[in-house]
């Protein structure tokens, strides 16, 4: 269902985020995210001189490699477009995510490693959808394969992660019935 009709308006800012989940030949999983921010107008910028309409203000990339247990093996970040020349210097800090497991408490732990001046607001914002795509990618790998968990038929990494997949809820209960 689309939103209700909007009031007359003028587009000023666009943020595009693309996420992809890949199964690698070595059995690892890569989750890649690309984010751009653009304006519909040209403007001046001290570090870049000027930024033309449609030219990315932010052009940022991140790749997280995880194993089948959802543990981060490596994280690489790049900033091809930033408003300040200093911004790309923080990208290597995202390697600090190595060793974290995407699951309960992941975002809190990630923020602990990349808080404030240790990270980049925009790259940190990408961690939530990146984690979601990691779950979706794992589901794609497991699709059609036998599963065992507290709720047979539900991947263990999904149980109790949201309202729909609560252990004693109707979705999990239905999947238990279907598994019998």
**What percent of the chain lies above the pLDDT cut of 70?**
92
Is the separation of the CB atoms in 101 and 157 below 8 Å? no
CA torsion angle 98 100 102 107 (round to 10): -100
What phi, psi does 115 have (nearest 5°)? -70, 155
Closest CA to 62 of 78, 73, 74: 78
Q: Residue 84: what pLDDT?
A: 96
Other Cβ atoms closer than 10 A to 21: 20
Give the residue with greater pLDDT, 180 vs 80: 80
Q: What is the pLDDT of residues 68-107, one digit of tens each?
A: 999 999 999 999 999 999 999 999 999 999 999 999 899 9
Q: Residue 159: what pLDDT?
A: 79
| Rounded CA separation 69/12 (Å) | 42
CA torsion angle 76 78 83 85 (round to 10): 100
- Average pLDDT value over all residues in the chain: 91
Q: How confident is the model at residue 153 (pLDDT cuts 50, 70, 90)?
A: low
Is the separation of the CB atoms in 50 and 43 below 8 Å? yes
| Rounded CA separation 90/78 (Å) | 9
Q: How confident is the model at residue 152 (pLDDT cuts 50, 70, 90)?
A: low
Q: What is the pLDDT of residues 22-81, one digit of tens each?
A: 999 999 999 999 999 999 999 999 999 999 999 999 999 999 999 999 999 999 999 999
Q: What is the pTM of this model?
A: 0.83
Q: How confident is the model at residue 150 (pLDDT cuts 50, 70, 90)?
A: very low
Is the separation of the CB atoms in 59 and 77 below 8 Å? no
Q: Residue 173: what pLDDT?
A: 84
Give the residue with greater pLDDT, 161 vs 131: 131
Give the largest Cα separation in the chain, rounded. 66
| Rounded CA separation 32/21 (Å) | 7
């Amino acid at each position: 269902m689309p939103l209700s009709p909007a009031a007359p308006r003028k587009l000023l800012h666009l943020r595009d985020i693309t996420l992809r989940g890949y199964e690698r030949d070595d059995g690892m999983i890569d989750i890649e995210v690309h984010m751009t921010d653009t304006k519909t107008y040209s403007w001046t910028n001290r570090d870049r001189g000027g930024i033309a309409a449609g030219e990315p203000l932010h052009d940022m990339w991140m790749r997280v490699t995880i194993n089948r247990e959802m543990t981060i093996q490596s994280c690489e970040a790049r900033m091809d477009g930033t408003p300040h020349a200093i911004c790309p210097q923080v990208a290597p800090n995202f390697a600090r995510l190595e060793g974290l497991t995407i699951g309960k408490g992941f975002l809190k732990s990630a923020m602990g490693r990349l808080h404030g001046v240790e990270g980049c607001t925009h790259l940190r914002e990408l961690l939530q959808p990146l984690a979601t795509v990691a779950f979706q990618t794992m589901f794609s790998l497991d699709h059609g394969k036998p599963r065992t968990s507290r709720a047979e038929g539900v991947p263990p990494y999904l149980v109790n992660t949201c309202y729909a997949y609560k252990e004693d809820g109707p979705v999990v209960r239905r999947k238990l019935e279907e598994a019998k």
